[in-house]
Amino acid sequence: MGGEKEAVLAVCASDAGGVVYDINTGEKIVCIQDCVAPPHGLAFVDGFLLAASRTDKDQPIFGSAIYFWAPTKRKVKLIQYRQFHVFQFYSGIICQIKDSLLIFIYNNVSPQATEDVPEDSKVNFSMKNKNELLLPYGLKGIKEVQKSYVAEAIEPIACSKDGVFLVGGARSGHAYIWEIASGALLKRWRGHKTAISCLAFSQDTSLLISGSIDGTVCTWSMISLFQAEEPRPIEGTEIYLNFYNVKQNEHKASITGILTLLRSPCPILITSSLDGNCKVTELMSGILVQTISLSSSVTTIAVDPLEQFLLCGAGDAGIYVTVLNEIGTKNSRLTLSEDNCQILSGHRAPISALAFSSEGPRLVSGSQDRVILIWDTRTWQVIRKIENKMGGHITNLLVIPKGAISTVHQGRNSLAVKFPKLDKICKPTNETMTFLRPSQFSDNPVSFQSSNLLAEQILDLEEKRTPEAVEMIIAMNTRDKVKNQTIAKELVNMNMLVQGQVFDVMDAGADED
Amino acid sequence: MAGAGGFLAGVNDPWLKLRLGGGGGGRRPKPGGALPPAELATVLDAVRTHGLLTERLPGTHDPKLAEAWRAAVDAWVERIGELVQSDMPCSRWLGICFLGLTFQECSNERFAESYSNWFEKILSNLQGPSSEQLVIIVSCTSMSDLFVRMARCLNLKKEASSFAGRVVEPVLLLLNGNGPVANEAVDLLRTVIKLYPSSVNRHYNKVESSIATNVMSSEVNVKLKEKFVRALASLPSVRVSEESWSLMIQKILIVVNNLLNDAFFGLEEEKKGHEILMLLVPPGNDPPPLLGDQTKWSGGNVHVTKKFRVYTVPTISALIHCCCVMLTSYHPVQVNVPVRALIALTWRVLSVDGSLHRKLFPSTTSLHQELICFELPSLHSTFLDLLSSTIKGMRSQLLPHAANIVRLITKYFEIARLPTTRTKAYIIVQQLLTSMGVGISIHLLDAIVSNSVADLDDSCGQDMTSLSTKPTIVTNESSSKSYSKKRKQETDAQNLHVSGSEKTAISPKKRKNSSLSTTPETTADVRMLTPLSVKLAALETLEILLNVGGSLRTDHWRADVDLLLINIARSACDTGRRYEHKLPSTVGETSIADFQLASLKALLASFLSSHTRPPYLAQGIELFRRGKLEIGTKLAEFCSHALLALDVLTHPRALPLECVVPSGPGLTFGAPEKATFGTEKYKFSLSGNQSQALEDDDPYDDWLTPTTVGEPTGSPAKDNPVGKERATEMSQGERQSTPVGEHQQTDTAMSPADIQDVPTSGKSDTEMADVATTETANPETKDGTFSSNAASTPVRTVLPDLNQQVAAPAFEEGHADPVDHLQNIPSAVDAPLTGGKSDDSDVESEDSMPGIVDGDPDSD
């Protein structure tokens, strides 16, 4: 189960920063100092990077910044293990530590207090000498590794599914798109008249959807986006239709959530707004399929991994659940009200974030009163309740693999990890940094050739096909010929000898006669 | 368990191996004794099949056996050692060959014992000045195998590296010879580069220049050149740095660009080459050193025309191929890909169509132009490969440049006329669609549809074009077509002679069939207009387009394409069956079987991506059913997959949701009365039997009824999912919804009646003729009913009043006594000819019913 190995990252709007919890036990795994983000301002990039934009510390001179977070290594320390108190005995190779404290055993000391040590704090250590250990110590953690200054304060950010592009939206309505690998700012354009509140990529990265606080939603084709010279949205050039304004289903208030579903006949776009509506439209045609109207504002939306349910977190602290797979069938209605929805209530303040675990058995919800609930989606029961004591209300929830926080990336190659600085200005580049690793399946591994070659050459020899084979045969034949010649010579000699003897005998006979 | 002397336990008895090995002692190659090649083949086969050298004992450990086996292998190894050191070339050859085999087979312990000994033996043969070619060849291969084996032993890494370092120099000497020796030598070099790149580092420049010289030499044959190209492409991995890769591709592109400057002189703007050079080497940067040894391959004093053909074009092809390999193979570190230069270079070549540039240069001769036009297809093809590799290598990072590529490929379709280049252009479009998804399909849609329809159309004739011109009023079109068909039917029934004026109105298929009876050759001629390979590529492109962007602006193109695809699939399957013996697949071309498969794949995509109910579903399923019977072919395999995939359409099912929302007492749910979920039909409660709840729902309604319009308020069918009763109920529903259709004729959403109309027209296009012209012994009841019904159903859509009149009695009948139709079937063959429409229209409605499609009437 993938869900077993996942953790929740909760990030707040102000102060203290983010906390990583275990999704099953609700235990706090690690705190991330100072990791603060506005709503939609958190992205998990390519399994190793957390980028959060923050606006609370705006420095007018520098503009704003996008922060990069990454797990940091533990330090390694040489420890003489006599110094340490011993709690618990484990196998010879794995020992456990907690808070830099080595838990180890002598054979002659009886084990004492058994503490619950989190699974992942088991570490490998290596014996240096008889009484010494090389041991990683210190809490592993996620630290800010780099910050990139950008032209203006970026609020929502989104990252493409393959981790190639990062897009950010500013209060001015400008949108920025970077290539993460190189940090190059590929495009800056005016997306909306008002502040951009939400951004999302389509599942195949070919479309970008943006929503603003005035309720407009735009779909951008990535291809024409890069091509257009003007840094503002173009409502359909002669060549390319690149801009769909989803007008007939315009929202009246700020967009709070954008989701895309890869439905088989046509992809689906779901947008939610503070005006209390959640609209389901066909992504390509913009046809409105369903509207879910709630009496209170929709603050966040989520869809489970199987795309069966749509969950709307509302301002009245309820989570409204509707079934998605009826859309397009006779049973679906154009508009649904909250009477048609199942309500999950457990929060006491407006819902601010929702997240599913990757395989769907867990739902995590966060509210503005700093409470995080973990639900079991099979029974829809709350299985854990976490009160996040530090910080303000929860703005972002992410479910990330546990490995991402415990293993330090060595980079994707032998060279050091590079955290690219995001460019502040857009400049055309001739080259694109990329990883070439497409041929994992097509590339033939080197293999043994001899036996095939031998089989082939045997055939060659039999049929005298190639000059080399002929050469070999000649060599063999020459040898045979030499051999035969010597034999022949010997035979001749013997013959002569015998003949001589015969003659001798005959002569002798004649003499006798 | 068999003993050493007794009988064996069976083929798996390990003693067998020993006896073969020991008994094979007689057959074991001896020094001096020249074994006939056939005998050698037996030895080789025995060793490989029985694993005689593995020394791996299965199951229980038997020390006696192990000891005996070890002794046998010892003897084998010793014998081979003697052979290798023999002074006879034949024995040496044999010894080295079997040594290579030993590397592959022998146990780890044995290998670790004697690998260095073996290495020296092979190396001495490799370097031997007077060795026969065959000996050198096998030495290279055996050496390569030695490295492969060493790479599997992790603890031998250091030794292997040093060995590899020693091998490089002798191999470089061998590279300069042509023929099989260089062939195996370059293989060995590639193995070394791949497995132990660091050991080549010392000789980097020498290796690069030697390979590059060979790549650009005009004396090296194509197959060998390919190997050199791969070696050159793998060379950057020797120096693990970001620059090595970029430097290599930069060098290559500069050489190519310069060659193109000469080639395209006078055929393009003068500055183009310079612009690309600026992209490759930005102003202010130093140009990289030249690739390889440029003096050797400058072509010498060959005549300029010959030089172009013998040197310039093959060199460009080889170098670009090298770029392709570099772009699509793994590289350990991040690299800088000069995307803009790559695309600009591709633009440059693909935009040359052989016509002279406006400003005529005095030096441009007609001969030069002729030469270029002769070689242009191969150049285009090469650079299309480059484009394809760029797409593969860059993936979504190519998005910023995608607009350029879209323009390029759209433009290129206009000049691509030759089958090879056109096929490649299609393949590039496919790759673009796959890698960039729905976003790029917006831009490519028009180009794909217009081009592929044009390519596929010729086999389907004029009727298609009349449909494609006004796609939005397809129902009217089809109805008018059916009108003519109705007349046609009657005329056909009376006399099979078709007058010339009417001939234009009949469907191409029909026409083909009718002409078939007299002149079968004409069909073949029509088919040859566009080569099968191009059609195949066009079909595959359409398939991917449907998968990726099937819901895009559907009103513009889907109707045409769906109709086209069903027609093609039908004609392909028919042709395949009838003409397989007459038209064997053209040599070296795409076979008709591939084409059939592609047409069915595209058809499936058309069904599955359909927004509404697919109009030609019944005909398609019939094709898939027939295809499924061709057991043992790929076609049958695919058809069974297709039927599986389509089952959801024919037998719609509402799968229970995976997660149930219960409203248990102890939970934190709000108002318990709100525990209903979605619509009222899905009741989620702890006590409620969910499957029961779902059964109550009629899933069929979900499918047939469109989302926004024409919701029949009538009662859905209840609890009887099998048989005709439901079908009759559906026909009720159909009737109810017909008035809705009247008011909303302009709406794109189809009422069930419409949906069923369209297939009949399409079906009757082709099947009619079958019945009319080909004498089928087996009465195809289904076909007959279909074609007859075609006459009546379109009337419904265009003239609703008439529709009511005509259709209603039919449905009444069906409602009253469904069994009747089964009894009618034997006479149904005559039905199309006599025009018995009212009798069979309801049979048709049954046929497109999901529950009945696999029913008895058409199962045979």
Question: CB contact, 8 Å: A457 with chain B?
Answer: yes
**Burial environment of residue A25 by CB neighbours within 10 A (0 to 12, 13 to 18, 19 or more):** middle
Range of the domain at A309: 2-8+30-73+141-406
Q: How many domains does chain A contain in total?
A: 3
In the numeric block, which tokens belong to residue A499? 């003949």
B173-178, long-range: CB < 8 A, 24+ apart = B174/B126, B174/B136, B174/B140, B175/B210, B175/B211, B175/B214, B176/B210, B176/B214, B178/B219, B178/B220, B178/B221, B178/B224
Q: Are residues A122 and A159 in the same domain?
A: no
Q: Are residues A187 and A260 in the same domain?
A: yes
E-assigned strand segments in B428-516: none
* Residue B34 distance to chain A (closest CA, Å): 8
User: A185: Cβ–Cβ under 8 A, 6 or more apart, which residues?
Assistant: A176, A177, A178, A422, A423, A424, A425, A426, A427
pLDDT for B413 beyond 60: yes
CB spacing of B104 vs A382 below 8 angstroms: no
**Which of chain A's residues have a Cβ under 8 Å away from the Cβ of B194?**
446
Q: Are residues A53 and A200 in the same domain?
A: yes
Q: Residue B377's pLDDT is what? A: 92
- CA nearest to A242 within chain B: B442
Rounded Cα gap, residues B568 and B563, in angstroms: 9
Question: CB contact, 8 Å: A253 with chain B?
Answer: no
Q: Are residues A105 and A122 in the same domain?
A: yes
Residue in A206, A346, A472 closest to B90 by CB = A472
- CA nearest to B332 within chain A: A413
Residue-wise DSSP of B151-188: HHSGGGHHHHHHHHHHHHHHHHHHHTS-HHHHHHHHHH
* Residue A471 distance to chain B (closest CA, Å): 7
Q: What percent of chain B has pLDDT over 90?
A: 20
User: How far does Cα B438 stand from its chain's mean position?
Assistant: 20
Q: Are residues A55 and A114 in the same domain?
A: no
pLDDT tens per residue across span B178-208? 677 888 899 999 999 988 988 898 889 889 9
Q: What percent of chain B has pLDDT over 70?
A: 59
Question: Could you give phi then psi for residue B723, rounded to 5 degrees?
Answer: 85, -170
Q: Residue B359's pLDDT is what? A: 62
Q: Residue B678's pLDDT is what? A: 34
CB spacing of A266 vs B97 below 8 angstroms: no
CA distances to A28, A257, A296, A396, B341 from A372, in Å: 12, 19, 21, 11, 52
Question: CB contact, 8 Å: A444 with chain B?
Answer: no
Q: Are residues A220 and A306 in the same domain?
A: yes
- CA nearest to B338 within chain A: A431
Confidence at B129, pLDDT banded by 50, 70, 90? low
Rounded Cα gap, residues A380 and B674, in angstroms: 14
Rounded Cα gap, residues B564 and B229, in angstroms: 43
Residue in A321, A326, A381 closest to B679 by CB = A326
Q: Residue B601's pLDDT is what? A: 94
**Burial environment of residue A71 by CB neighbours within 10 A (0 to 12, 13 to 18, 19 or more):** buried
Q: Residue B843's pLDDT is what? A: 41
Give the A:B interface size as CB pairs under 8 Å: 328
Confidence at B590, pLDDT banded by 50, 70, 90? low
Question: CB contact, 8 Å: A454 with chain B?
Answer: yes
* Residue A357 distance to chain B (closest CA, Å): 14
Least confident among A401-410, B157-166, B702-711: B702-711
Taking every pair of Cα atoms in chain B, the longest distance, rounded to a whole number of angstroms, is 101
Q: Residue B597's pLDDT is what? A: 92
Question: CB contact, 8 Å: A484 with chain B?
Answer: no
Q: Residue A235's pLDDT is what? A: 41
Q: Are residues A290 and A369 in the same domain?
A: yes
pLDDT tens per residue across span B269-304? 878 888 898 888 888 888 888 887 655 555 555 677
Domain ranges, ordered by start, for chain B: 241-415, 416-654+741-858
Q: Which residues of chain A carry a pLDDT beneath 50?
A: 1-3, 81-128, 130, 137-139, 231-248, 409-417, 439, 441-442
* Residue A153 distance to chain B (closest CA, Å): 24
Domain with residue A359: its CATH number is 2.130.10.10
ipTM: 0.80
Residue in A202, A412, A450 closest to B145 by CB = A450
Instruction: State which of A373, A406, A439 marks the end of a domain.
Output: A406
CB spacing of B439 vs A479 below 8 angstroms: no
pLDDT tens per residue across span B12-44? 666 676 666 544 444 455 544 556 777 788 888
Residue in A334, A346, A472 closest to B93 by CB = A472
- CA nearest to B685 within chain A: A379
Q: What angle (nearest 5°) sits at the alpha carbon of residue B374, between those of residues B370 and B375?
A: 120
Q: Residue A90's pLDDT is what? A: 35
Question: Which of B184, B330, B653, B660 should one mutate to test binding to chain A, selecting the residue with the greatest count of A CBs within 10 A?
Answer: B330
Question: pTM surpassing 0.80?
Answer: no
Q: Are residues A340 and A386 in the same domain?
A: yes
Confidence at B433, pLDDT banded by 50, 70, 90? very high
Q: Residue B316's pLDDT is what? A: 93
Most confidently modeled range among B66-70, B129-133, B778-782, B842-846: B66-70
Q: Residue B295's pLDDT is what? A: 55
Residue B816 CB neighbour total at 10 angstroms = 9
CB spacing of A414 vs B240 below 8 angstroms: yes
Q: Are residues A58 and A89 in the same domain?
A: no
Q: Residue B282's pLDDT is what? A: 83
pLDDT for B260 beyond 70: yes
Rounded Cα gap, residues B773 and B371, in angstroms: 52
Evaluate whether residue A440 is within a structural domain. Answer: no
* Residue A107 distance to chain B (closest CA, Å): 35
Question: Which of A226, A294, A330 should one mutate to test binding to chain B, selecting the residue with the greatest count of B CBs within 10 A?
Answer: A330
Q: Are residues A132 and A88 in the same domain?
A: yes
Question: Which of A244, A292, A434 should one mutate to test binding to chain B, selecting the residue with the greatest count of B CBs within 10 A?
Answer: A434
Rounded Cα gap, residues A429 and A431, in angstroms: 5
pLDDT for B422 beyond 90: yes
Question: Which of A327, A331, A334 should one mutate to test binding to chain B, selecting the residue with the greatest count of B CBs within 10 A?
Answer: A331
Identify the H or E element spanning A382: strand A381-387
- Compare B691 and B591 and report the one with higher pLDDT: B591
Mean pLDDT of chain B: 70
Evaluate whether residue A424 is within a structural domain. Answer: no
Residue in A340, A451, A480 closest to B48 by CB = A451
Average pLDDT over residues B83-111: 85
Least confident among A218-232, B234-248, B504-518: B504-518
Q: Are residues A63 and A85 in the same domain?
A: no
> CB-side exposure of A208: number of CA atoms within 13 Å?
28
Q: Are residues A68 and A112 in the same domain?
A: no
Q: Residue A72's pLDDT is what? A: 67
Evaluate whether residue A433 is within a structural domain. Answer: no
* Residue A197 distance to chain B (closest CA, Å): 23
**Which of chain B's residues have a Cβ under 8 Å away from the Cβ of A223?**
399, 402-403, 406, 436, 439-440, 442-443
**Which has the closest alpha carbon to B615: B658, B564, B651, B664?**
B564
Residue in B41, B400, B671 closest to A226 by CB = B400
Q: Residue A418's pLDDT is what? A: 58
In the numeric block, which tokens belong to residue B219? 């004396």
Question: Which of B39, B52, B141 should one mutate to test binding to chain A, selecting the residue with the greatest count of A CBs within 10 A?
Answer: B141
Residue in A415, A442, A450 closest to B333 by CB = A415
Q: Residue A331's pLDDT is what? A: 60
